[in-house]
């Protein structure tokens, strides 16, 4: 999966990834637990707690069933919704300057009329070129109307997107685009149009040849307009020097709400993993994002004989496990409350890595 990954001339090096617990760089494995929540300042080790930071079933007001490791890993995806952020980034993001931008053929429409139909959407936007409509959540129970207040337009040609952008009304700062859309009961409603410039998916801070996944984090629950340069700016302001930032995209090269950040130092990486959640506040949006260790293909680091799809981020562990070794290792009372992370295999594209946490696989 990860070996050989090329990102605009950058190779993600996984040969030495997690051969040993990276925490051992700063602590002994037998060091005592540190009480209290992570702190924004001070040594990295001093703010790492072995207590689980993820919500339990009691937090989510659910009846806890018999322990199932896959179910617990899925629960992890809800963590950003029920946990507070320790770090907050507030301010302006880097300005965007484009010269001959190339757009994804996929465009987001937000705030569409509740009674809009697919036929109406196709009729309205087909003037820009042939297209299809993608409505997340639409099923047989809603055959005509969009169940969500948003949808995606999938154009056949990139030139269609540019024509649509030229026909849109713009905000005063020229950063937001709106197009009037009518339905049977709502006339000329301004809907938000969000295109994606493909070059915004990758940002390299320093020219380098290799990136190490042992210094890479997965960032989930990203706002749809946040580009790679802005993500790098936020992570560097909070945790330290960033070497690379990437926004994960689908087969249309449109963002899927997650990304990756590689730090220059192990200390910055651990500081980011410890933070777990970051609140981003800008003039345009406020969003809480989730930070996890970046997970790669690995053998179980206990038995070394089975694939290790489960990862424990607690300081006492920080290892990959097969299912049997997870149950064995975490049968101890002191470790039983640890929450597993698991890579999302659904829709896996074998040419790209995946990550644990909120969002989808990098398809």
Residue-wise pLDDT tens digits, 197-230: 999 999 998 776 678 888 999 999 999 999 999 9
Greater model confidence, 220 or 18:
220
- What does the pLDDT read at residue 192? 97
What φ, ψ does residue 165 adopt, rounded to 5°?
-60, -40
Distance CA 210, CA 264 (A): 11
Per-residue pLDDT band at 36 (split at 50, 70, 90) = very low
Whose structure tokens read 């993608």? 134
Per-residue pLDDT band at 23 (split at 50, 70, 90) = low
- What does the pLDDT read at residue 209? 60
Q: Of 333, 316, 325, nearest to 29 (Cα)?
A: 316
Which residues are paired to 89 by β-bridges? Answer: 280
Q: Across residues 262-291, what is the average pLDDT? A: 94
Per-residue pLDDT band at 144 (split at 50, 70, 90) = low
**Three-state secondary-structure class, residue 84:** coil
Per-residue pLDDT band at 140 (split at 50, 70, 90) = low
Per-residue pLDDT band at 175 (split at 50, 70, 90) = confident
- Report which secondary-structure segment, H or E, holds 219: strand 216-220
> What string of DSSP letters covers 174-205?
S--EEEEE--SS--SEEEEEE--BGGGGEEES
Per-residue pLDDT band at 33 (split at 50, 70, 90) = very low
Burial class of 41 by CB neighbour count within 10 A (0 to 12, 13 to 18, 19+): exposed
Per-residue pLDDT band at 139 (split at 50, 70, 90) = low
- What does the pLDDT read at residue 326? 94
Q: Of 308, 358, 356, 351, nearest to 18 (Cα)?
A: 308
Least confident interval from 124-138, 208-222, 273-287: 208-222
**46-61 tens-digit pLDDT:** 334 334 444 444 444 4
Q: Please provide the distance, in angstroms rounded to a whole number, between the alpha carbons at the two ends of the chain.
A: 12
SS3 content of the chain, % helix, strand, coil (to 5): 20, 25, 50
Q: Across residues 339-361, what is the average pLDDT? A: 50
Judge whether residue 67 has pLDDT over 90. no
Share of the chain above pLDDT 90, in %: 54
**96-130 tens-digit pLDDT:** 888 899 999 999 999 999 899 999 999 999 999 99
203, 231 contact by CB (below 8 A): yes
Q: Per CATH, the architecture of 106-195 is what?
A: 2-Layer Sandwich (3.30)
Q: Across residues 305-324, what is the average pLDDT? A: 93
What φ, ψ does residue 348 adopt, rounded to 5°?
-65, 130
Burial class of 329 by CB neighbour count within 10 A (0 to 12, 13 to 18, 19+): middle
Give the tokens for residue 317: 């562990």
Least confident interval from 43-57, 247-261, 313-327: 43-57
Per-residue pLDDT band at 232 (split at 50, 70, 90) = very high
- What does the pLDDT read at residue 57? 41
Judge whether residue 13 has pLDDT over 80. no
Please, how many CA atoms are within 13 Å of residue 70, restricted to the half-sphere of its CB? 2
What is the CB neighbour count within 10 angstroms for residue 318? Answer: 21
Distance CA 165, CA 176 (A): 10
- What does the pLDDT read at residue 146? 52
Judge whether residue 309 has pLDDT over 50. yes
Contact partners, residue 125, CB within 8 Å, separation at least 6: 131, 153, 164
- What does the pLDDT read at residue 81? 76
Distance CA 262, CA 52 (A): 24
Greater model confidence, 163 or 135:
163
Distance CA 278, CA 280 (A): 6
- What does the pLDDT read at residue 14? 47
**83-93 tens-digit pLDDT:** 888 899 998 89
- What does the pLDDT read at residue 213? 87
């Amino acid at each position: 999966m990860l070996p050989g990954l090329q990102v605009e001339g950058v190779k993600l090096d996984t040969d030495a990834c997690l051969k040993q617990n990276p925490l051992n760089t700063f602590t002994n494995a037998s060091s005592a637990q540190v009480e209290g929540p992570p702190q924004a300042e001070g040594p990295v080790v001093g703010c790492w707690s072995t207590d689980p930071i993820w919500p339990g079933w009691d937090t989510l007001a659910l009846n806890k069933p018999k322990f199932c490791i896959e179910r617990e890993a899925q629960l992890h995806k809800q963590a950003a919704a029920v946990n507070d952020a320790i770090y907050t980034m507030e301010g302006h993001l880097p300005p965007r300057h484009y010269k001959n931008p190339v757009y994804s053929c996929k465009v987001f429409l937000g705030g569409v009329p509740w009674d809009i139909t697919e036929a109406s959407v196709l009729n309205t936007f087909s003037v820009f070129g042939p297209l299809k409509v993608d409505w997340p959540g639409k099923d047989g129970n809603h055959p005509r109307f969009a169940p969500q207040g948003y949808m995606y337009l999938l154009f056949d040609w990139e030139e269609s997107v540019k024509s649509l952008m030229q026909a849109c009304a713009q905000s005063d700062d020229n950063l937001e685009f709106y197009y009037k859309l009518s339905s049977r009961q709502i006339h000329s409603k301004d809907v938000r149009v969000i295109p994606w410039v493909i070059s915004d998916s990758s940002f390299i801070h320093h020219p380098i040849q290799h990136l190490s996944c042992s210094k890479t984090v997965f960032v989930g629950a990203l706002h749809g307009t946040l580009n790679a340069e802005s993500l790098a700016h936020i992570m560097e302001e909070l945790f330290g020097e960033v070497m690379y930032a990437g926004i994960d995209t689908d087969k249309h090269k449109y963002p899927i709400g997650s990304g990756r950040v590689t730090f220059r130092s192990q200390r910055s990486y651990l500081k980011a993993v410890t933070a777990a959640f970051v609140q981003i506040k800008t003039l345009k949006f406020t969003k809480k994002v989730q930070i996890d260790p970046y997970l790669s293909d690995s053998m179980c680091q206990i038995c070394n004989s089975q694939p290790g799809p489960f990862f424990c981020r607690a300081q006492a562990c920080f290892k990959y496990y097969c299912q049997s070794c997870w149950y064995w290792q975490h049968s101890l009372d002191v470790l039983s409350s640890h929450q597993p992370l698991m890579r999302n295999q659904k829709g896996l594209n074998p040419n790209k890595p995946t990550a644990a946490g909120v969002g989808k696989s990098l398809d």
